[in-house]
Amino acid sequence: MTSRKGLPVDKIRELEAKAKEIGLSESLLIENASSNLFEIIQKLNLGTKAMVVAGRGNNGADVLSCARKLLSRGFEVKVIVLSEKPPGQEALRQKNILEKLGILIYDLKVGAIHELPLLLEESDFILEGIFGIGIKGEVSFFHKEVIAAINESGKKIVSCDIPSGLSPDEGLVLGQAVEADYTITFLAAKKGFYLNQGPEYCGKIFVVDIGVSRQMLEEPV
């Protein structure tokens, strides 16, 4: 069971920093997180056709890494990378790995948003990692359109760490937010999951670790 009291972003950042201090690299944390993300998705039995929608940050890297794990277990996976801005280092790294494995990646540009509903139609479920807990301010018009298309797809939606577009501390919709059926979150539930609009957008919440648990990171050294 998930506690009805989530952690604020600054506390989550402290735990992430502690994980790095003990020697876990960003890349390793992403691999660990995506493995646990995959394990929950597999248990949910949402179907075998996954559409992975990735943003430019580490949440995008998480779902791209998870896409590789889904493929290795026999899922049919299609990948959309949102290309409003260039990807960050870890997301680019994960994207390059998929490309070297011969995985077709659709770079969705601002002018091609009309193609998204048809792409989403081909899946049993959607795994999204557009924004994470670092989201600041209202989402762009491009991202509003992407999120609206995901919400209107009629597919089961899995959000990585937090429904994209939801503020992690306040639980407010920042212009548009993903209406998740499941939120698989790392280390601890976020404070905003239980405030304001948060409960309407998170669906069922699963808390997983990142190769080291919250309790281990909180233990005094």
When comparing pLDDT for 43 and 83, which is higher?
Answer: 43
Does 3 reside within a domain?
A: no
Mean per-residue pLDDT, 61-85: 95
Q: What percentage of the chain reaches a pLDDT higher than 70?
A: 97
What pLDDT, on the 0 to 100 scale, is given for residue 174? 98
Q: Which has more confidence, 105 or 221?
A: 105
Q: Which domain holds residue 140?
A: 9-218
Of residues 112 and 180, the one with the higher pLDDT is 180
**What is residue 5's DSSP assignment?**
-
What tokens were used for 196?
Answer: 């304001």
Tell me, rounded to whole angstroms, the distance of Cα 23 from its chain centroid: 24
Give the total number of structural domains in the chain. 1
The Cα–Cα gap between 173 and 192 comes to 10
d(CA 50, CA 56): 19
Q: What is the pLDDT of residue 145?
A: 97
Decide if 200 is inside a domain. yes
**What is the reported pLDDT for 4?**
64
pLDDT higher than threshold 70 for residue 3? no
pLDDT > 90: percent of the chain: 82
Q: Is 4 a member of any domain?
A: no
**Who's near 21: CB < 8 A, 6+ residues apart?**
none
pLDDT band at 104 (very low <50, low <70, confident <90, very high): confident
**pLDDT value, residue 87:** 87
Q: What is the pLDDT of residue 66?
A: 98
C-alpha–C-alpha distance, residues 36 and 46, integer Å = 16
Is 50 inside any structural domain? yes
Residue-level pLDDT at 2 = 43
Contacts of 97 (CB under 8 A, 6+ apart): 64, 68
Burial 75-112, CB ≥16 within 10 A → b, else e? bebbbbbbeeeebeebbbbbbeebeeeebebbebeeee
**Position 1 in a domain:** no
Residue 97 placed within a domain: yes
Can you give the C-alpha Rg of the chain in angstroms?
16
Please report, in angstroms and rounded to a whole number, the separation of the first and last CA atoms in the chain: 28
Tell me the pLDDT tens digit for each residue of 134-168: 999 999 999 999 999 999 999 999 999 999 999 99
Q: Residue 52 in 3-state DSSP?
A: strand
**Mean pLDDT, the chain, whole residue set:** 93
Q: What is the CATH number of the domain that holds 119?
A: 3.40.50.10260
Domain for residue 171, yes or no? Answer: yes
Q: Note the maximum CA span of the chain.
A: 53
What's the token pair of residue 82?
A: 């949102």
Q: Report yes or no on 124 lying in a domain.
A: yes
Looking at residue 220, its pLDDT comes to: 52
Predicted confidence at residue 177, as pLDDT, reads: 99
Amino acid identity for residue 66 in this structure:
C
